[in-house]
Amino acid sequence: MQRITTVVVGAGQCGLAMSRELRRRSVDHVVLERGAIGESWRSERWDSLRLLTPNWMNGVAGHRYAGSDPDGFMSAREFTASLTRAARHDGAPVMAGTRALSLDRAGGGYRLATDRGDFACASVVIATGACALPRIPRFAADLPADVVQLTPRSYKRPSDVPEGAVLVVGASASGLQIARELALAGRRVTLAAGGHQRLPRRYRGRDILWWMHRVGVLDLPYTRVDDLDRVRRAPSLPLLGDPSGADIGLDGLRDLGVEIVGRLGAVRDGAAWFSGALAHVCASADLKLGRLLDRIDAWAEAMGYAGPPPHRPTPTRVPDAPRLSARLGGGGIGAVVWATGYTPDHAWLRLPVFDGRGRLRHTGGVVGDGLYVMGLNYLRTARSTHIAGAPRDARALARHLVGATTRRAAA
């Protein structure tokens, strides 16, 4: 049994940011990683993936981006290398190849069992991220046996997908990018769009995230969000990290030959059945985009911005009668990519810390006495799922951790 003050589980951007803050505060700790540093970025992304955030936003663990292309978009491999460099620079005490198996209360602290021995500690930081497990609907089991099923974790390249028509389910960033890549490879693609957002890559001469950063869209604290549960369930931003600065949206995919249909609601009698509410989904996304651009324009006017003038994209084009069903297997759709989101993997927590839906309860990342979580959607602000948001969250939670440890010791 190893005894230590704090165990951080996960050596991605969140775990390394927390390690740096703990070291600054002289808290003895260890960072456990099931594989190598940044394992999910190494082995659970498709080959062509680039980060959605421009490089100037991608400083790791408090280190600023120091490359020569601040407005570019690094690949997953390049980002993994930056994680490794940051860990080496900071001397992060990473134990690679160590998988957390269970966490229980023990005395006044915790007992963390791993496949390389157990730890007794006063506090634990869960930094395993929000995207550990693909979220797949139950009716996936009803697909015909000859239909190949993939997720953004198992999909690597178009050649992985059997010849024939492909159905991509989900219109957040992963679904849009995979549908685009398959279409550019000459595949027949249908995209089922459920919850959908719309964003331009650039607006008035600047990256849209530059505007969201300046205007304060990313900084509203969780304590001031009207419907926090809804915000935390929102899909990832529909952006493409392409050097061309291209947009990725339903209209652009349609121009590439992708057929857009409504939400996949059921699989029955060898067919996929889609919602007829596609027009409503698109109109809602257009409305929200207009509100964001109005806010940007108001800020730009107040600040005397001298760049290009305001403009509005045309409304999303919607077919008069979108298709409501498609045959699965047997010469119809031969493969389905489930880009339907992710869930964290917290099954190893043997603690009463979950709500009625099985989600981890927390207040701005504070789960309970000595237990913390990082990397979840809108943990503290909209930045919490961005690479640059990890150091801010780590500072706040490290301050809380040290204060709580001091109070326990005094008691």
For residue 198, is pLDDT > 90? yes
The reply to whether CATH 3.60.21.10 applies to domain 2-132+344-410 is no
* Mean pLDDT within 291-305: 97
For residue 113, is pLDDT > 90? yes
d(CA 247, CA 259): 18
**Which pLDDT score is estimated for 165?**
97
A 10 A CB-CB count for 235 gives 20
**Which pLDDT score is estimated for 233?**
87
**Which pLDDT score is estimated for 89?**
95
Whether 87 contacts 28, CB under 8 Å: no
Closest to 3 measured CA to CA, from 30, 25, 23, 26: 30
Domain borders along the chain are 2-132+344-410, 135-338
**Backbone dihedral angles phi then psi of residue 292, each to the nearest 5 degrees:** -65, -45
Length of the chain: 411
**Which pLDDT score is estimated for 83?**
96
For residue 387, is pLDDT > 80? yes
For residue 315, is pLDDT > 90? yes
**Backbone dihedral angles phi then psi of residue 308, each to the nearest 5 degrees:** -55, 155
Q: What is the DSSP letter of 130?
A: S
**Which pLDDT score is estimated for 218?**
93
CA distances for 132 relative to 157, 173, 329, angstroms: 20, 16, 29
Q: Mind listing the pLDDT tens digit for each residue in 82-108?
A: 999 999 999 999 999 999 999 999 988
pLDDT band at 402 (very low <50, low <70, confident <90, very high): very high
More confident residue, 78 or 244: 78
* Mean pLDDT within 226-237: 89
Closest to 271 measured CA to CA, from 349, 331, 231: 331
